[in-house]
Amino acid sequence: MNTVNLTVNGKPVSATIQPRTHLADFLRETLNLTGTHLGCEHGVCGACTLLVDGVPTRSCITFAVSCERAEVTTVEGLDNDEITRELRAAFSQEHGLQCGYCTPGMIVSARDVVQRMAAPSEHDVRVAMSGNLCRCTGYVGIVRAIQRVVEARRGRGIAAIPDGNRKRLGPSGSGHADPASVAETARPKAVSPAATKKPAKSSAPAPRKDTDWKPQTSFVQGFTVSHPVDVVWDFFGNIPEVASCLPGASLAGDPVDGHVEGQIKVKVGPISAEFLGVADVTRDDTTRTGTIDGSGKDKRSNSSTRGLIGYEVVPGANLDETRVNINIGFTLTGALAQFSRSGLVQDVAGRLIGAFVQNLEAKLSHKAAGGTGAAPVVAELDAGALVFSVIVSRFKALWAKMTGRGQ
Ligand code: FES
Ligand code: FES
């Protein structure tokens, strides 16, 4: 962890953060400044553009620690800025926005154009704004809005302030950070060959644990089941039964000494991923705790995941109820990594767990009634539908907050 001191929208901020945290995540998740949007997270779309020491900067590819002592201005900090006010009106008059997702980044870049360029042609504006992508408008309204503001200001005798020193656009950082500390903290540490050596082979099936692995994202979830703790704990010992409660999961064969191979299908909008992988399952009857350590790969999207789940099964608040507390840590890489933002994943995991509990309850109730097992209620995870329901529930929560009404 590193401490960073900077000024955000005129207020001094000091925080202890992970060196890899990018500026946009820091602003959105630590300071709740969600006006900075994230699109590609690869420095391509411009949605995350803000000002670092007055220079438009891609905050998704700028480490927050590299902004030590910088003046950061987000779109929220431009509320009372004169050029921004004029641009907001012009965007509205020229139909320069529809969904508005690109708009904060557009406004920050457009403000820079208005400030620096004396009399830009349509072509000049298009070139200057070419680092900001918009999926809705076709750009005509955006370009017109910018030209309108430039012309109006020059007409009022307000000259451009060309920045002759401008040599680069982001990621710029502040230029204040101690290069040694940035280099040390922002780059992955060199790992000695000895540290990367695979563990020696043992008689256990396919040992796969790399002890220095740390999940990128971790969070805690839990649920309550309306069945006694012994029954739930016994059920958790039956890996195929547990897997059958997980939407989209299936095993390739019987577990051997807690080692299983299988797959899980996930639909994310139009993308259908099928992670093939392995997992090692441990459990401790004394403490009623267990772990599932798994990894998988989806060939089509070339995405990989590694996850470690720890759980404990404890008596619930009411008689014959059981509480299951879960620690989830995972890393997702490849094309699907864009869906690994922690808030979203927690919400999606909450809904996935909801489906799991629904299936678990159905099976346990069926067994308690003397049946031989019920088919899972939810057979496949459609993360696209889940993501949509997450957005709807967040919108509802925001609406309730704004209107002061409960949901
Ligand atoms: S989110 Fe696309 S450039 Fe930063
Ligand atoms: S207004 Fe929708 S992306 Fe630009």
Which ligand number lies closest to the CA of residue 39? 1
Residues with CB under 6 A from ligand 1: 38-41, 43-48, 58, 60
Q: Is 98 in the pocket of ligand 2 (CB under 6 A)?
A: yes
Higher pLDDT pick, 177 / 213: 213
* Confidence band for 200, pLDDT divided at 50, 70 and 90: very low
Mean pLDDT of 306-318: 87
Distance 100 CA to ligand 2 centre (A): 5
- Please give the number of the atom of ligand 2 that sits closest to the Cα of 47: 3
Instruction: State how far the alpha carbon of 161 is from the alpha carbons of 147, 177, 236, 257, 318, in Å.
Output: 16, 27, 68, 71, 69
- The residue whose C-alpha atom lies closest to atom 3 belonging to ligand 1 is 43
Pocket test for ligand 1, best of 48, 50, 75, 108 (most atoms within 8 A of CB): 48
CA distance 48 to 50: 6
Helix pair angle (103-116, 82-93), 10° resolution: 120
169 backbone dihedrals φ, ψ, rounded to 5°: -105, 165
Any domain includes 210: no
Residues 253-269 have pLDDT tens digits of 888 888 888 888 766 54
Domain contains 188: no
Higher pLDDT, 250 or 145: 145
Boundary of a domain, candidates 132, 155, 178: 155
Mean pLDDT score, 89-117: 96
- Contact yes or no for 276/294 (Cβ under 8 A): no
List the one residue out of 106, 105, 117 whose CA is nearest residue 150: 117
Closest-CA residue, ligand 2 atom 4, reads 134
Ligand 2 proximity of 136 Cβ (cutoff 6 Å): yes
Tell which residue, 58, 166, 169, 82, has the closest CA to residue 116.
166
CA 120 and chain centroid, separation: 38
Give the atom of ligand 2 at the shortest distance from the alpha carbon of 99.
Answer: 2
Distance 38 CA to ligand 1 centre (A): 6
Q: State the residue range of the domain holding 44.
A: 2-155
Q: Is the pLDDT of residue 343 over 70?
A: no
Q: Ligand 2, residues 91, 102, 129: which to mutate, most atoms within 8 A of Cβ?
A: 102
Q: How much of the chain, in percent, has pLDDT values that exceed 70?
A: 72
147 and 69 in one domain? yes
Task: Identify the residue whose C-alpha is closest to ligand 2 atom 2.
Answer: 99
What is the best residue among 103, 108, 139, 143 to mutate for testing ligand 2's pocket, by most ligand atoms within 8 Å of CB?
103
The count of domains in the chain is 2
Residues of the chain by 3-state class (helix, strand, coil), percent to 5: 35, 25, 40
What is the spatial distance between Cα 190 and Cα 210, in angstroms, rounded to a whole number?
Answer: 17
- Is 190 a member of any domain? no
CATH number at residue 396: 3.30.530.20
CA–CA gap between residue 27 and residue 22 (Å, rounded): 9
| 171 prior amide bond cis, ω within 30 | yes
Are 221 and 361 within one domain? Answer: yes
- pLDDT, residue 192, reads 40
Last residue of a domain, one of 136, 155, 174: 155
Residue 48 lies in a domain: yes
What does the pLDDT read at residue 211?
A: 62
Rg (the chain; Cα; Å): 26
Question: What 3-state class would DSSP assign to 392?
Answer: helix
Residues 88 and 228 in one domain: no
Q: Is 139 in the pocket of ligand 2 (CB under 6 A)?
A: no
Stronger pLDDT, 400 or 77, i.e. the higher one:
77
The single-letter DSSP state of residue 63 is B
Average pLDDT over residues 182-189: 41
CA of residue 29 to ligand 2 center, whole Å: 23
Half-sphere exposure for 213 (CA within 13 Å, toward CB): 20
Residue 116 lies in a domain: yes
Query: pLDDT tier at 335 (50, 70, 90 boundaries)?
Result: low
In a domain, 199, yes or no: no
Do 365 and 259 fall within a single domain? yes
Q: Can you tell me the mean pLDDT for 370-398?
A: 57
Whether 184 maps to a domain, the answer reads no
More confident residue, 303 or 270: 303
Distance 97 CA to ligand 2 centre (A): 6
Query: Using CA atoms, how far apart are residues 394 and 223, in angstroms rounded to an integer?
Result: 21
Selected residue with higher pLDDT from 142 and 331: 142
Burial tier of 56 (Cβ tally within 10 Å: 0-12, 13-18, 19+): buried
Q: Which atom of ligand 2 is nearest to the CA of 135?
A: 3
Domain boundary among 108, 135, 155: 155
Reported as a pLDDT band with limits 50, 70 and 90, residue 180 is very low
- Residue 279 contacts by C-beta under 8 Å, 6 or more apart in sequence? 259, 260, 261, 262, 292, 293, 294, 295
**Measured distance CA(228)–CA(252) in Å, rounded:** 30
The verdict on 259 and 131 lying in the same domain is: no
d(CA 7, CA 3): 13
Mean pLDDT along residues 26-46: 93
Q: What is the mean pLDDT of the chain?
A: 79
Quick check: CB of 135 below 6 Å from ligand 2?
A: yes
* Nearest ligand, CA 24: 1
What confidence score (pLDDT) does residue 354 get? 79
Query: Which domain CATH number covers 147?
Result: 3.10.20.30
